Structure 1
Amino acid sequence: MKSATFSALALILLLPLAACGQSGRDTAPSGAASDVAQAAREVREQTSSSVIAAEVRKGIEQAKKELVSKDISLGSIHVGSGPKPHDDSRPKAVITPQGTLVIAGKPVAATAEQHAMLVDYRQQIIGIAEAGMDIGAQGADIGISAAKQALWGAFTGKSDQEIEASIKPQTDQIQAAAMALCKRLPDMLASQQKLAAAMPEFKPYATMTQKDVDDCGNDMKDKDGKKGFAVFSD
């Protein structure tokens, strides 16, 4: 973590709240110290971990409901951290909640066995996407915690190293969850390959490779946080 990062986070939180804190306080003490102290109190109140967690969880639950109840576009699925492959020659294809493959708006006839494979592949996608959402929610909490601690650190003289150490248990948990997600990819790849072999119409959309599985753990371990892992990418 760099000093500039913490300073920027603190400043983003501090400035608008300082302005809000000054409005309607005609009798409040003047001076930069009182304004900063008031802003700090408001940061603490408005960035309460429970409030942030509730809002993030609300959004995650809504996204999960939509994921289960809506069509999954095969063109939007991208596994790995590399650039998303583009193939404009492919017609739009989706798997419906009922497990029907629809290409260019037309349902593709499937045997009972093929249908079961479509349902399994869709469930593999949903399971990994939901796990990714939960990891994202944890990351949001850590981001707020880091910003708050950067602000308090300005008052208490804590170093960036001390702040980083204080949130390390949380980041370690996310790392473990991310690695657990990576371990689920082989099953998703196997499901995709099985479906592609059994259903030629699906094969052009089977873009996940063994390299994506192999690279997942390495991407998660990137020390600079520049790499990432995507299951859906618009």
Structure 2
Amino acid sequence: MKILNAPLLALALAIPLAACGEKPAANAPDTETTIGAKVREATDKARKELAEGNVSIGSDGAKVELTPSGDLLINGTSIPLNDSQRAITLQYRKQMIGVAEAGIEIGVQGANLGAKAAGEAIKGLFSGDTDKIEERVNAEAEKIKASAMKLCDQLPALMVTQQQLAAAVPAFKPYAKMDQSDIDDCREGNVDVP
């Protein structure tokens, strides 16, 4: 059996991906690939569900949710809230959604970067101009890093609101697990928000 050389094999495997990545959808931003547009379509649905549905808070074993009206549900039981507590719950929910939406946007940018990188590699192989590929891909990757830092910038305010909610609603206190290490880890590139 004859062995294909690696660049030719890589080219053959990447052509379908690049073809998908090069044609932007009709309603997509100028920098968005078809793959990115498909991801955005799915994430728009997720954004709608965030806005209209309950927001879950990560916890060990318990199901903790914030409703669009500001109710706090723990294992399906609504915790009684006064107006002040409900205001903090709504603020916390709004901030949680902001962090989730920032994460969604980073995902869309990542999908676009993957498709663009494949397209750049194929263009470089066909044109023989492979020198600038890494530079162009790295420039796009820097934009994603900047978006990640914007997500990280939201975490201190989220933590403050979480602490306010834990102080105002004792039933929530066991689930208020975010601390400074979460913010520090985010800034170091290890995003894992509770």
Instruction: Please give the range of the TM-score, normalised by the shorter of the 2 chains.
Output: 0.7 to 0.9
CA 1:12/1:205 → structure 2, altered by over 3 Å: closer, same or farther?
A: farther
**Partner residue of 1:29?**
none
In angstroms, what is the RMSD of aligned CA positions? 2.4
The one of 48, 53, 57 aligned to 2:22:
48
Q: Which has the larger radius of gyration?
A: 1
Unaligned runs of 5+ in 1: 1-5, 18-42, 77-86, 220-227
TM-superposed deviation, 1:204: 1.3
The percentage of counterpart residues that share the same residue type is 39
Letter in 2 for 1:178: A
**Partner residue of 1:182?**
152
TM-superposed deviation, 1:95: 0.9
Give the structure-2-normalised TM-score. Answer: 0.81
TM-superposed deviation, 1:162: 2.9
The whole-number CA distance in structure 2 between the counterparts of 1:140 and 1:117 is: 35
**Partner residue of 2:167?**
197
The one of 118, 133, 144 aligned to 2:89:
118
**Partner residue of 2:137?**
167
**Partner residue of 2:29?**
none
Structure with more relative contact order (C-alpha pairs < 8 Å, separation 6 or more):
1
Q: Could you list the per-position Cα deviations for residues 10-33 of structure 1 after superposition, in whole angstroms to 9, with x for gaps in the alignment? A: 55434xx4xxxxxxxxxxxxxxxx
TM-superposed deviation, 1:181: 1.6
The whole-number CA distance in structure 2 between the counterparts of 1:141 and 1:192 is: 33
The whole-number CA distance in structure 1 between the counterparts of 2:11 and 2:71 is: 49
Unaligned runs of 5+ in 2: 1-6, 26-33
The whole-number CA distance in structure 1 between the counterparts of 2:116 and 2:97 is: 29
CA 1:13/1:126 → structure 2, altered by over 3 Å: closer, same or farther?
A: same
Q: Secondary structure at the match of 1:114?
A: helix
Q: Could you list the per-position Cα deviations for residues 16-55 of structure 1 after superposition, in whole angstroms to 9, with x for gaps in the alignment? A: x4xxxxxxxxxxxxxxxxxxxxxxxxx5543225131332
**How many positions carry a matched residue from both structures?**
179
CA 1:44/1:176 → structure 2, altered by over 3 Å: closer, same or farther?
A: closer
Letter in 2 for 1:217: R
Instruction: Tell me, yes or no, if the aligned pair for 2:54 and 2:68 is still in contact at 8 Å.
Output: yes
**Partner residue of 1:64?**
47
The whole-number CA distance in structure 1 between the counterparts of 2:117 and 2:8 is: 11
**Partner residue of 2:115?**
144
CA 1:61/1:93 → structure 2, altered by over 3 Å: closer, same or farther?
A: same
Farther off after superposition, 148-157 or 199-208? 148-157
TM-superposed deviation, 1:116: 0.6
Give the structure-1-normalised TM-score. Answer: 0.68
